[in-house]
């Protein structure tokens, strides 16, 4: 059993997405053998670091490699756990950087932007979707009109690993969606956001459009511009009293620790809470 058989099983038995298959293939390039020992795994990590990969990039490859090693030694039907004796790589310690977000002022500028014409209206609605739902850009660009329940203010998203989830939308977003569908005659089975040829938009093009818009509105876009909308949503959700467990469901995370990392609170938030809860406060 080797890399190709592992990927084949993941594709046809586990039904993972094409992007996940690419992730496996890219990660396995760090291994020099299909039957790695503990020393081989260590050498793979050293090779990653020598090539300049940061801890986050290394950990991404390590997760894929560990999954393969477990499969090769224990088979697909046994869950990996502390009792497994096969080689494995420990995750590297990652720096806990503050995740980039949009400021309240920047959000207002984007939300209140007076978009004109179909292309600008399309971009504006994409941004409204991202800020209102915290969805991934890939999930938004795959949306079809029939995925949106305007009566009940719900949208069905196709998340990672082909896992669907239903998330709520606001009245404001419903109004914008209805207007867009009506004005541009979007049919039930049509992509909500499509090119002139009715194909899916590419996320890189959307990123370029968003960055250009931010600059035209007078501010520099935050790092990881599109994904920063997701960080911003998580922060705003908790800041307004949302529950971290509900946030996990909305964002489609299988691991609560991932949600907690997105849910970064600003220094001002911490100061406000401290002043309210301090034993010295009157």
111 has pLDDT over 80: yes
Tell me which residue of 236, 206, 218 sits closest to 131, measured CA to CA: 236
235 has pLDDT over 90: no
Alpha helix segments (H runs only) across 38-116: 38-50, 55-74, 104-111
> What residues make up the domain containing 161?
104-225
Please name every residue paired with 191 in a beta bridge, in sequence order, or none if there are none. 144
Decide if 108 is inside a domain: yes
Position 267 scores a pLDDT of 58
Q: Do 141 and 200 form a contact (C-beta atoms < 8 A)?
A: yes
Which of 37-46, 153-162, 172-181, 182-191 has the least mean pLDDT? 153-162
Q: What is the pTM of this model?
A: 0.77
Total count of domains within the chain: 2
Backbone CA torsion sign across 37, 38, 43, 44:
positive
List, in order, residues 6 or more apart from 52 with CB less than 8 Å away: none
Judgement on whether residues 32 and 108 belong to the same structural domain of the protein:
no
Backbone CA torsion sign across 179, 182, 187, 188:
positive
Decide if 145 is inside a domain: yes
Judgement on whether residues 206 and 154 belong to the same structural domain of the protein:
yes
Judgement on whether residues 110 and 201 belong to the same structural domain of the protein:
yes
Decide if 269 is inside a domain: no
The top-scoring range by mean pLDDT among 7-21, 90-104, 213-227 is 213-227
45 has pLDDT over 80: yes
Q: Per the structure block, which two tokens stand in for 14?
A: 């586990």
The CATH code of the domain that includes 186 is: 1.10.443.10
Q: Any idea what DSSP says for residue 163?
A: -
Q: Do 44 and 57 form a contact (C-beta atoms < 8 A)?
A: no
d(CA 140, CA 134): 10
d(CA 149, CA 188): 11
What's the number of CA atoms in the CB half-sphere (13 Å) around residue 87?
16
Which of 15-24, 44-53, 63-72, 108-117 has the least mean pLDDT? 15-24
Judgement on whether residues 42 and 131 belong to the same structural domain of the protein:
no
Decide if 97 is inside a domain: no
Domain final position from 205, 225, 245: 225
Judgement on whether residues 132 and 21 belong to the same structural domain of the protein:
no
Judgement on whether residues 57 and 117 belong to the same structural domain of the protein:
no
Mean pLDDT of the chain: 90
Decide if 215 is inside a domain: yes
Judgement on whether residues 10 and 62 belong to the same structural domain of the protein:
yes
Query: What percent of the chain has a predicted confidence (pLDDT) above 90?
Result: 69
């Amino acid at each position: 059993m080797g890399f190709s058989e592992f990927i084949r099983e993941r594709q046809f038995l586990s039904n993972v997405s094409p992007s996940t298959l690419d992730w496996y293939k890219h990660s396995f390039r760090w291994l020099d053998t299909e039957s790695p020992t503990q020393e081989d795994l260590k050498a793979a990590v050293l090779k990653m670091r020598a090539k300049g990969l940061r801890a986050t990039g290394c950990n991404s490859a390590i997760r894929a490699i560990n999954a393969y090693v477990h499969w090769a030694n224990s088979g697909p039907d046994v869950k990996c756990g502390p009792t497994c004796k096969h080689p494995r790589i420990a995750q590297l310690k990652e720096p806990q950087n503050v995740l980039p977000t949009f400021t309240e002022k920047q959000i207002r500028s984007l939300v209140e932007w007076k978009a004109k014409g179909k292309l600008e209206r399309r971009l504006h609605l994409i941004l409204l979707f991202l800020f209102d739902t915290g969805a991934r850009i890939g999930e938004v660009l795959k949306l079809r009109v029939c995925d949106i329940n305007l009566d009940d203010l719900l949208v069905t998203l196709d998340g990672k690993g082909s896992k669907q989830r239903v998330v709520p939308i606001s009245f404001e977003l419903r109004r914008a969606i209805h207007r867009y569908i009506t004005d541009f005659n979007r049919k039930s089975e049509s992509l909500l956001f499509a090119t002139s040829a009715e194909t899916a938009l590419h996320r890189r093009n959307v990123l370029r459009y968003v960055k250009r818009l931010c600059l035209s509105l007078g501010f520099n876009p935050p790092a990881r511009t599109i994904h920063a909308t997701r960080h911003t949503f998580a922060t705003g959700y908790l800041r307004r009293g949302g529950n971290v467990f509900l946030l996990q469901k909305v964002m489609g995370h299988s691991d609560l620790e991932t949600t907690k990392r997105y849910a970064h609170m600003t220094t001002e938030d911490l100061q406000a809470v401290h002043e309210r809860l301090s034993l010295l406060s009157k």
